[in-house]
A = this chain, B = another copy of it.
Amino acid sequence: MEVTGTAGTTETAGAWPAAVPAQGRGTRAGPDGAADGQEAADLLERTRQAVEPELRRAVALLPEPLGRIARYHLGWEAVDGTPVTGQSGKAIRPGLVFAAARATGGQPAAAARAAAAVELTHNFTLLHDDVIDRDHTRRHRPTVWTVFGDADAVLAGDALQALAVRLLAEDSHPAAARAAARLAGCVIELCAGQQADCALEHRPPGEVTLEECLAMAEAKTGALLGCACALGALYAGAEPDEVEAMDGFGRQAGLAFQLIDDVIGIWGDPARTGKPAGADLVARKKSLPVVAALTSGTAAGAELAAYYAGSTDPAAVDRAADAVDRAGGRDWAQAQAADRMARAVHQLSRAVPDPDRAGGLLALAEFVTRRTH
């Protein structure tokens, strides 16, 4: 079974892009980026088809009602157990597992269990983060804790974490134990990242540094994308330094994604994001562009600090967004995203000397950082 395909990889043949520009600043395939977006979309569609049977087999191992809660969360069933379609996640992390396995010379199909384990781990963190952050909506549906209660959401998350590890620990693949250990280590980093995020939100804005925000974003977002790539490489039988380089690729691409996500959280089109304009500012979120602005030492930064200290005037949101921009927060975030993508590509070139093989990974990295989908 071919999971990642070869369509579109020829366009990178013989020429490594120095960096993949973020958010509509042009793409490898040309100004409109259509070719790359299509490649990633196709790859993700094939990923979903390849990973879903493995995921369904795994989730079927859960006793009820934990299975039912998991199937609701995963977008497979309505609250009453009726099957639904088209409400699942994008499967970016399993896509990275498959693409990384292919890039390092393996058969993507052989990494299906690793792909499922990474997706289950991602969903365990979503279940717990939604409880902790009191988020009401996930993938356009009510979150599990709002439907089933906190206890069921925590316990279903716990069970998904265990299920992910069980998939790998029961696998006969020679890299399975190393993959399980790596995934468990990643979970610890994810927990530390979410803990840091909560702690940062409770601290006065003036005391938060950019460095700790970047470290938090790397742990919370970069670690699992890096782990997905590393597991794909492990399952392809890659050497330890290739595995580390693949982890570095996913980790840096994940940071680029977070930076762009934070830009969208302020300036994103409400019609596309499904959130009101300036949502992160309204929530007083200490996102990366905001902290960059707050720590800029500029008059606009001081203006933003005053807004974060308590203005409730609705019109103030627009002025706050403008202040982030004038303080350089937006430019900084976009430049950082481009820099992180350059680092990601550098790591990728270490792990995969043949650019022909790297097409799928690059397409996915662009897909998550462009976010026009």
Contact = CB atoms under 8 A, between A and B. Distances in A.
Contact of A191 (B66, B187, B198, B199): B66
A71 B363 CA distance: 44
Contacts of A188: 61-63, 66, 159, 162-163, 166
A151 interface: yes
A192 B161 contact: no
A131 B159 contact: no
Interface stretch (A175-183, A239-247, A305-313, A346-354): A175-183
Contacts of A152: 195, 198
Contacts of A181: 166, 169-170
Given A166-B181, A177-B177, A158 B198 contact: no
Contacts of A165: 165, 169, 180, 184
A88 B194 CA distance: 28
Contacts of A180: 165, 169, 177, 180
B198 A184 contact: no
B177 A154 contact: no
A48 interface: no
A198 B159 contact: no
A177 B184 contact: no
Contacts of A159: 187-188, 191-192
Contacts of A163: 184, 188
**Chain A interface residue number, banded:** 35 or more
Contacts of A198: 151-152
A316 interface: no
A84 interface: no
A343 interface: no
A162 to B, nearest CB: 4
Given A177-B177, A195-B152, A187 B162 contact: yes
Contacts of A325: none
Contacts of A61: 188
A130 to B, nearest CB: 11
Interface in A169-224: 169-170, 176-178, 180-181, 184-185, 187-189, 191-192, 194-195, 198-199
A185 B284 CA distance: 41
Nearest to A181: B169
Given A132-B150, A150-B132, A155 B185 contact: no
Interface of A: 61-63, 65-66, 124, 128, 131-132, 150-152, 154-159, 161-163, 165-166, 168-170, 176-178, 180-181, 184-185, 187-189, 191-192, 194-195, 198-199
Given A158-B161, A159-B188, A162-B185, 4 more contacts: A65-B199, A66-B195, A151-B198, A170-B181
6 contacts: A62-B188, A151-B194, A156-B191, A158-B187, A162-B188, A169-B177
